[in-house]
Structure 1
Amino acid sequence: MFTGLVREVGRVEAVERSGEGAEIVVAAELARELGPGDSIAVDGVCLTAVDTAPSRFRAQAMAETLRRSTLGELAAGARVNLEPALAVGDRLGGHIVQGHVDGVAEVVGLAAEGFARRVEVRPPARLLRYIVEKGSVALAGVSLTVAAVAESTFSVALIPETQERTTLGELAAGSRVNIEVDVLAKHVERLVREYVHNLPAAGAGEAGR
């Protein structure tokens, strides 16, 4: 589990693709904290470190992960947001992020807003129902607060700290970013749907009274 608070921006050193997936080598200082088998979020995608060194780690991404996220577009030199898995006792400063990306969203607009930068994002249509004003969403692994929701888009505001410490400061119109919606919203929807489906039909049980 993660919180969406990026610890470091790493740099992709190599991507080796095959029909089964890809192996990704990332240079990062926090690699010294990792061991084989540890989880790390790369641009919001939970991956397992399979090999580590003091200044880099190697992780594997299966074909499904490459299809559902921007990791399939990575190339050597790309900058990626990194967050190690949450440890017991760590501060939960963002929100509950699983690293299970729901899809890829597109940036459709940017505008200055005081010292912040407002970013308008179009998510896959099936995800918009999980996004609510002042709720939480993770973009490229960064925990953000939803500023506004429109018919097919939503907006977030990036403070200077977020722009400087993550790759979100590099966003432009047309940029594609991994999106993970609030897992609590998905669970609530599933529970409510099951409850509604199991309700007796109107008038059921009335006969014979």
Structure 2
Amino acid sequence: MFTGIIEISGEVIATREEGSNLVLTIGSAIAGELKIDQSVAHNGVCLTVTNIGDNIYETVAVAETLQKTNLGQLTTGQHINLERAMVFNGRIDGHLVQGHVDGVGTCILREAQDGSWLYRFSYPSGFAGLIVEKGSICMNGISLTVFDVTNDQFSVAIIPYTYTHTNVQYIQPGTQVNLEFDILGKYVARQIAVNREVLAAS
């Protein structure tokens, strides 16, 4: 589990294909603190550390992950948001995030405002039931509050700290981002669907 509070930004040092998988080599100041088989969120995607070197480590994204996220678009030199798994003896500053990305959204607007940045994203309408006004979303691993929500778009406001300490600063119109919708909303939606099925069958 994660919180959506980005710990540090890493750099993609190299990528290589191994069958249908993609091996990512990530450079980061926290590499020396990691352990093999540990979970780390990469742009919000939970991946397992498979190898550790000097200020670098490797992780593997399988085919299904590449189909549902933006990790397959990563190239050498790009910045990636990193968060280690949460510790259950402290405050949760964001919201509960699994690192299980539901799909990708696309930036359709970036607007500098007085002291913040406004971004608007489109997203697949099939997820409309999982996003609510002033609710939480995980975007590229960042816990954010959404507003101006429609059935296929939402907006977020980015404060200067988040802008300078994550890769949101590189997002432009057309950029695809990873989206994970709130797990509580998923359970509610599933329960409603099951109840309807039971009623229909009775």
Say yes or no: TM over 0.5. Answer: yes
> Do residues 26 (structure 1) and 30 (structure 2) align?
no
1:6-155 map, 5 Å: 6-155=6-155
CA deviation after TM superposition for structure 1 residue 129, in Å? 2.1
CA distance in 1, matches of 2:170, 2:74: 15
- For the 8 Å contact 2:125–2:151, the answer to whether it is kept is no
CA distance 1:178–1:200, change in 2 (3 Å)? closer
- For the 8 Å contact 2:129–2:189, the answer to whether it is kept is no
- Mean Cα displacement is larger for which, 87-96 or 157-166? 87-96
CA distance in 1, matches of 2:155, 2:90: 29
Deviations 1:121-157 (A, max 9, x none): 0011211221111100011000000122124210010
- For the 8 Å contact 2:32–2:55, the answer to whether it is kept is yes
What RMSD, in angstroms, separates the aligned Cα atoms of the two structures? 1.4
Unaligned runs of 5+ residues in structure 1 are: 205-209
Q: Identity of paired residues, percent?
A: 37
CA distance in 2, matches of 1:158, 1:137: 13
Q: 1:198: which partner in 2?
A: 198
Task: Please identify the structure whose Cα radius of gyration is greater.
Answer: 1
Letter in 1 for 2:183: V
Deviations 1:84-127 (A, max 9, x none): 11122132100011110001100001223331111110011211
**Displaced runs of 4 or more, over 6 A:** none
CA distance in 2, matches of 1:56, 1:137: 29
Letter in 1 for 2:117: R
Number of aligned residues: 202
**TM-score, normalised to structure 1's length?**
0.92
